[in-house]
Structure 1
């Protein structure tokens, strides 16, 4: 369903649609769990264990730099797996990305530290992070399409929201596991406790794999195959015919990607290092925020069907602008309850937009190159904006001699750019759909 169209009357979900939605949710939850535990470990552990020869602040920056490596690799994963997803199908591609992510995460859990193998340790850490990035770069787009393309008519965005639920669900799971090991004393936590969340990923991947193997191929992809309309070189066709959609999609995805890393990574580092809030306490705060997001997103997706997706997304982003200053002021009080309140309010506004983002982007691209198109837009945004968020925010905090206001300005700027690109992409997609319906070439 296009972002500016009124939804069709909902129809009952078929067993295939339910299986596809469940498989997309579970698989994406595991993928994001793997990605989030790395972000949490970047804030709490990696600077000390893999970059011990620099100051604590520099160690955090270096740790966040390896965190960014995963984002640098995500467009490559989007291109590679988008190609095979558009050429061969969604299901096999998603099985591969799941195994790749789980394997890389498990290996991080057994990786020697700098004290054991020297400079090879951070190099291997960065390489495994790159593999994670390649895997998640191919996972998100395929999961969105598996859910939305099998959805009942008029409910594509609602079913795509199940993929977006993987982000808070993965965050909840990652935080619970780190809370379990975070109760250890510092010596035990730094020596072996931090490894357990990574090793636990191996078991989760087996569960997700069993569910994902039971899902049939996307109905819409099967139709494209039957019509002989499969793209030969999807990435070339996307660049040639839909480059404006890609650029606007990058801008429209900015806060959808960076918001989680403001809270789960930068804020966690800022509050535990500069503000000296207890590590376990902040993990509980972030756990509560993730629960709020998980509960609100389905309601937000349903509400957007009533008021219009584009209007709902833009209003959610602008509400987040108004809440930005109160959020950081409440966190700065160093009182956990107030910090939770500030982050939760901003999360309610921002996650409403995030819940609708997947279906909104999927509707913008033609079906024959949709996997490559949404993967390229979303993952390029991850590289350019999402992965740099914790590092940029930490650098601004350091530049401002501990003042949070440069970070607040950065946060508001990203929100405004995102809102503008969402509105522009909705208008452009409306013109594209109108042109295609009249037999005109795809606009560039």
Structure 2
């Protein structure tokens, strides 16, 4: 494990201010990404009207995935910037970029108004958001983990809890809008409401982040001028193992993101029902994450992650088979609850583990690269791959196939982290 440099102790109130500042900004950044996935059905008809609903939704989900090609670039640029200039500077810059992308989507005319320019501009906005998100995870996780090194797991887990808040907020918008607006109203203006909400709250998050103090660990360290080169030169094995550990977390996260579209299109459930079930998953992730983080501090990160990964591997196919055979609100609720608990059990311990894999001088660069390479390859196109699997296999339980694959990859990486790097 990486050594911890001597750092000036930080007070408990200051640590909790850091949690609030990083979490609210991170939640708002991810809110815009999640909303796009949740409202994929509406967006597909407005910006990709091919005359074939299946093609339209594939194009929309493909656009969702295209933005992830920018994540590794964002990880390199913003991650290296955070290791050179500080975590605070990178967090402030990333939220500004996300606000710009959100503004474009919130006001963008649809295909019927400006033709082919609409989907092209939409792709540009998503690329901008992808670049911003590429630097967010590493910067936010390093910022949280470096305030109280003895409790890295607990404080870093708030990054995952804030993503649960994101899911919860997006699902609330889904329930309220789909339950109270007609399809015409949703297409005309309803789908823009969540993006406008994120745009209005963005300046608040930006203000909070500009008032932050830098982390004690970063201030006590000697920054490197070549964090990217140092990461590849000195931490190649750690980077590969870190990428592997992220795979299951990102696939599970984007499977949850895809569930409203899946429930509506494959199970024939009402949109309000689909979004209500997602509310439970978001609430579980938000509430359970700090407990998992605390447990990882006291009992070891890989131990709890291994248990969660094995349970996901064993249970996910039977759960989806049951859901397909009994496509009711109650069944969907149970599946979402089990998925939420196991996903959180794995994902909430992950930031603490990643933060300990890399030294302070290259921590944000290493984490950003590992996370975003895995997210780009396995997560961003997850909804697209799942849709393709369903169409190719003819099985509505096909989403479970992808999660099983991810669980196997991450189990191998976790064993390597234990045997090669000495993590427990």
TM > 0.5 fold call: yes
Please list every run of 5 or more consecutive structure 2 residues that lacks an aligned counterpart in the other structure.
Answer: none
Distance of 1:41 and 1:418 partners within structure 2:
30
Confirm whether residue 79 of structure 1 aligns to residue 76 of structure 2: yes
1:291 matched to which residue of 2?
Answer: 283
Cα pair 2:293 2:352 within 8 Å, conserved: no
2:264 matched to which residue of 1?
Answer: 272
2:34 matched to which residue of 1?
Answer: 36
Distance of 1:298 and 1:320 partners within structure 2:
20
3-state SS of paired residue (2:223): coil
Distance of 1:346 and 1:30 partners within structure 2:
23
CA offsets per residue over residues 22-69 of structure 1, 9 Å max, x none? 111111111111110111122x21211111124111111111000002
1:150 matched to which residue of 2?
Answer: 147
Q: CA deviation at 1:303?
A: 2.4
Cα pair 1:27 1:98 within 8 Å, conserved: yes
3-state SS of paired residue (1:253): helix
Distance of 2:43 and 2:80 partners within structure 1:
34
Confirm whether residue 181 of structure 1 aligns to residue 177 of structure 2: yes
2:306 matched to which residue of 1?
Answer: 314
1:440 matched to which residue of 2?
Answer: none
CA offsets per residue over residues 273-310 of structure 1, 9 Å max, x none? 12210011100010112112222222222223333211
Confirm whether residue 108 of structure 1 aligns to residue 105 of structure 2: yes
Distance of 1:328 and 1:337 partners within structure 2:
13
Confirm whether residue 219 of structure 1 aligns to residue 202 of structure 2: no
Cα pair 1:323 1:345 within 8 Å, conserved: no
User: Aligned-pair RMSD on alpha carbons?
Assistant: 1.9
- Normalising by structure 2, we get a TM-score of 0.94
> Which 4+ residue blocks in structure 1 deviate beyond 3 angstroms?
none
1:95 matched to which residue of 2?
Answer: 92
Distance of 2:199 and 2:283 partners within structure 1:
24
Q: For residues 347-358 of structure 1, what are the structure 2 equivalents within 5 Å?
A: 347-358=340-351
Q: CA deviation at 1:16?
A: 2.3
Greater mean alpha carbon deviation, residues 286-295 or residues 121-130? 286-295
3-state SS of paired residue (2:143): helix
Q: CA deviation at 1:2?
A: 6.8
Q: CA deviation at 1:335?
A: 0.4
Cα pair 2:151 2:294 within 8 Å, conserved: no
- Normalising by structure 1, we get a TM-score of 0.90
3-state SS of paired residue (2:225): coil
Confirm whether residue 206 of structure 1 aligns to residue 203 of structure 2: yes
Cα pair 1:95 1:213 within 8 Å, conserved: yes
Cα pair 1:330 1:339 within 8 Å, conserved: no
Cα pair 1:327 1:343 within 8 Å, conserved: no
Equivalent residue for 2:422, pick from 427, 430, 435: 430
Q: CA deviation at 1:251?
A: 1.0
Distance of 1:304 and 1:145 partners within structure 2:
17
Please list every run of 5 or more consecutive structure 1 residues that lacks an aligned counterpart in the other structure.
Answer: 6-10, 432-444
Distance of 1:305 and 1:372 partners within structure 2:
23
Cα pair 2:309 2:346 within 8 Å, conserved: yes
2:337 matched to which residue of 1?
Answer: 344
CA offsets per residue over residues 296-332 of structure 1, 9 Å max, x none? 2222222233332111111111011122023213432
Cα pair 2:158 2:289 within 8 Å, conserved: no
1:438 matched to which residue of 2?
Answer: none
Distance of 2:37 and 2:399 partners within structure 1:
19
- Cα 1:405–1:186 change in 2 (3 A) is closer
| Number of residues of Structure 1 aligned to a counterpart in Structure 2 | 417
- Cα 1:2–1:350 change in 2 (3 A) is farther
1:404 matched to which residue of 2?
Answer: 396
Distance of 1:12 and 1:427 partners within structure 2:
33
Distance of 1:370 and 1:302 partners within structure 2:
21
Distance of 1:292 and 1:147 partners within structure 2:
21
